[in-house]
Structure 1
Amino acid sequence: MTHALAAAWQDGPRAVAARAEELLADLPRKADRTPEQRRLLGAAVDEARRGRSTFMAEHGQALYDALTHARTRYLWLDELVYAAADLLDGLAPTREQMSAESVLAQADKEGREIDQAIFFAGVLRHERAGEHLMDAALRPTDRSLALLPEFTAHGVVDLGPLRVELDGHTAHLTVTNPAALNAEDNDLIAAMDVGVDLALLDDRVKVGVLRGGEMTHPRYQGRRVFSAGINLVHLDAGRISYTDFLLRRELGYISKLHRGVLPVDADGNVLAGHGTHWSTRTVQKPWIAAVDTFAIGGGMQLLFAFDRVIAASDAYFSLPAAQEGIIPGVANLRLPRIAGSRIARQVILSGRRIHATDREARLICDTVVDAADPAGPADLDTAVAAAAEELSAPAVVANRTMIGLAEEPLPVLRAYLAEFALQQGLRLYAPDVLEKTSKFGRAT
């Protein structure tokens, strides 16, 4: 199989990809290129990417099987794409090429992550390969498994941008990135993956709660904030990774919130396709989101994966991704189902802000607590505790599983993620995005 793949790659798109690399090697840095140099390079790169896309459409399943030993090995996203680069020279960027890109501002990069996007989209479009890849991302991380004994012993783990605490049968995940208004960056995504794992793997936990911590920002000093979405300063600086942030976020911890964690044994091997009991494939638990102040962008996206959303009356929700130029994760799949097509278009395409007291907010959150009441924060805590008690009922997990199957069948999610993987990679390097993030970076 590997020999046939190599032959198909070498006899077709490999030469085109090599020509693009040769042309790039002879050019000055991106900012110093002439319009004609940019035109010639752009045409060569487009031709190479067309060849990669065609190859993945025809051979993506066979390639994935070769990389995973006929789907008997589970690889993390970075492991998989670099293994592909090692196997077929020029199909995807190497570690060395990505390392060179990582030190550059977003506008100065060559956009090699687009080639990673072509690879992942190609894998996800094949049913068997795509579902196996989605399962691979549901495994607990190595750091989660290493920290689980500490969490079990002490009931608290500090992950830097995230704190995980056990209170009775409830795991409280508190985002602690105050300098950036709890905006998401690479480090927070990695921490969220671990925090969700710990809550799902600890048998004492019946319900998980996510809430933003208190701010140090002068405008919100001492107030809790749920999330300001993607960290645009980091995006401008080139510190938002396509694989470790944009793709891992959707396939990793958000999918775990929705679909559960896939258990592994002491050696990291998936446990025979089922969870802690023979009747369950993944370990699932109900989740509550407690929203203070605002849930912007990625913060609002998160709410669609939760079983209960509780908000303060002065909170608001928005998805300014279209204005920023990117795609708001899986929100385009979930929000039309939750709130209807018209509202979804207003929020996603036009940036409409929904306040917790708006009539339409009832489609986004379940409970609104009066923030003007002196006891407001305490009442929000009380509402969270009551919801956690209600959702700890034995039949909740089975029923949320069935709701998930009805609302979002796996083939539908996989097809969406395949297109998202490609389009988000392209948007990451679109001229309008680079212009907007550069302005934001200069403003800060």
Structure 2
Amino acid sequence: MNNSDVRVQRICSTLLITIDRPQARNAVNSAVAAGLTAALDELEGDSTLRAGVLAGAKGTFSAGMDLKAALNGDLPVIPGRGFGGLTEAELTKPLIAAVEGFALGGGFELALGCDLIVAAEDATLGLPEVKRGLIAAGGGVIRLPRRIPYHLAMEFLLTGEPVTGRRAGELGLANRVTAPGEAVATALTLAEELAHNAPLALAAVKNLLRHADGTPETDAFAAQREAQDTLMASADVREGMTAFAERRAPRWTGK
């Protein structure tokens, strides 16, 4: 799947998804949202793909919502899936943001909607919505205080001032901080690391973490037991144990 605004490229078992509107700093309009939705559906629907990497073309991740388009009623929100078709989507496969250049507003929220973030040290990440009379409604207000301490999240949200990729790493927002221009390569390497693990187990981890926040501990443990029982009955668990005993790499089937 490719269109003029979103490109996809299969690299081993990873789907590299690239927002390709460099003339608009990869700002998200409805066409980009539709393209991202289709790309994420491709990732989810192909059993041979194990992870995705989300990036932006020409050294910029995304400057956020295309405000000019939005003023004309062109809103990049997909019903049930949120901003860019991503921020409210419940994906089963790991998705890694590879941030170069600007990740501002909705662009930063796309990154926060991913499971892991790789950021170039000179990248710029921020939520400037309050400077335009808005709030970070694509998940920023909700997710950021769950990722970093309350007062630091409030500084992001109330001042609208950005931080560098290096600072994002210091705050724990980025899993890896790279030299400029190396975020995508590092994210692809990280994605292939994940691909060595059982896909059913990765999906179970994602699902449990997604629903555990704010859940009473007894309910969380009950959900965890159910997930573990399901995994124990899977062919992949038998394969994982057999491969360990035979001292070889497992051959996962996702069943």
TM value normalised by structure 1 = 0.45
Stretches of 4+ aligned residues off by more than 4 angstroms? 246-249
Q: Is the contact made by 2:125 and 2:164 (CA closer than 8 Å) also made in structure 1?
A: yes
The corresponding residue for 1:225 is 60
CA distance in 1, matches of 2:26, 2:188: 23
The corresponding residue for 1:287 is 95
- Of Structure 1 and Structure 2, the greater helix share is in 1
Shift of 1:240: 2.7
Runs of 5+ in structure 2 lacking a partner?
216-255
Letter in 2 for 1:396: L
The corresponding residue for 1:388 is 191
Q: Is the contact made by 1:355 and 1:361 (CA closer than 8 Å) also made in structure 2?
A: no
CA distance in 2, matches of 1:408, 1:182: 34
Deviations 1:284-322 (A, max 9, x none): 100111001120000111122212111111101010111
CA 341–247 in structure 1, closer or farther in 2 if over 3 Å, else same: farther
Q: Percent identity?
A: 28
SS at match of 1:165: strand
Residues 300-319 of structure 1: pairs in structure 2 closer than 5 A? 300-319=108-127
The corresponding residue for 1:350 is 159
CA 195–360 in structure 1, closer or farther in 2 if over 3 Å, else same: closer
Runs of 5+ in structure 1 lacking a partner?
1-156, 215-223, 261-283, 372-376, 410-444
The one of 220, 241, 255 aligned to 2:88: 255
The corresponding residue for 1:181 is 25
Letter in 2 for 1:253: L
Letter in 2 for 1:227: S
TM value normalised by structure 2 = 0.76
SS at match of 1:310: strand
Letter in 2 for 1:333: I
Deviations 1:323-348 (A, max 9, x none): 11222122111111111211111111
Shift of 1:359: 6.4
Letter in 2 for 1:294: F
Letter in 1 for 2:65: I
Shift of 1:190: 1.3
CA distance in 2, matches of 1:318, 1:324: 13
CA distance in 2, matches of 1:333, 1:403: 15
Q: Is the contact made by 1:186 and 1:239 (CA closer than 8 Å) also made in structure 2?
A: no
The one of 245, 262, 275 aligned to 2:77: 245
Letter in 1 for 2:204: A
The RMSD of aligned alpha carbons is: 2.0
Q: Is the contact made by 1:189 and 1:249 (CA closer than 8 Å) also made in structure 2?
A: no
Letter in 1 for 2:5: P
CA 408–174 in structure 1, closer or farther in 2 if over 3 Å, else same: farther
Residues 374-385 of structure 1: pairs in structure 2 closer than 5 A? 377=181, 379-385=182-188
SS at match of 1:358: helix
Shift of 1:391: 1.7
CA distance in 1, matches of 2:133, 2:13: 41
CA distance in 1, matches of 2:171, 2:4: 33
CA distance in 2, matches of 1:365, 1:245: 25
**Larger CA deviation: 287-296 vs 396-405:** 396-405
Shift of 1:362: 3.6
The structure whose Rg is larger is 1
CA 359–335 in structure 1, closer or farther in 2 if over 3 Å, else same: closer
Letter in 2 for 1:336: P
Deviations 1:382-402 (A, max 9, x none): 422321122221132221221
CA distance in 2, matches of 1:361, 1:189: 31
The corresponding residue for 2:134 is 326
The one of 199, 203, 218 aligned to 2:47: 203
Shift of 1:407: 2.6
Q: Is the contact made by 1:332 and 1:348 (CA closer than 8 Å) also made in structure 2?
A: yes
Letter in 2 for 1:335: L
How many residues align? The count is 210
The one of 391, 398, 406 aligned to 2:204: 398
The corresponding residue for 1:365 is 174
SS at match of 2:98: strand
CA 359–300 in structure 1, closer or farther in 2 if over 3 Å, else same: closer
Q: Is the contact made by 1:308 and 1:387 (CA closer than 8 Å) also made in structure 2?
A: no
CA distance in 1, matches of 2:163, 2:17: 25
Deviations 1:107-146 (A, max 9, x none): xxxxxxxxxxxxxxxxxxxxxxxxxxxxxxxxxxxxxxxx
Residues 29-428 of structure 1: pairs in structure 2 closer than 5 A? 157-214=1-58, 224-236=59-71, 238-241=72-75, 245=77, 250=82, 252-256=85-89, 259-260=90-91, 284-328=92-136, 329-358=138-167, 361-371=170-180, 377=181, 379-392=182-195, 393-394=197-198, 395-407=201-213
CA 387–255 in structure 1, closer or farther in 2 if over 3 Å, else same: same
Q: Is the contact made by 1:303 and 1:364 (CA closer than 8 Å) also made in structure 2?
A: no
SS at match of 2:18: strand
- Of Structure 1 and Structure 2, the greater strand share is in 2
Shift of 1:381: 4.0
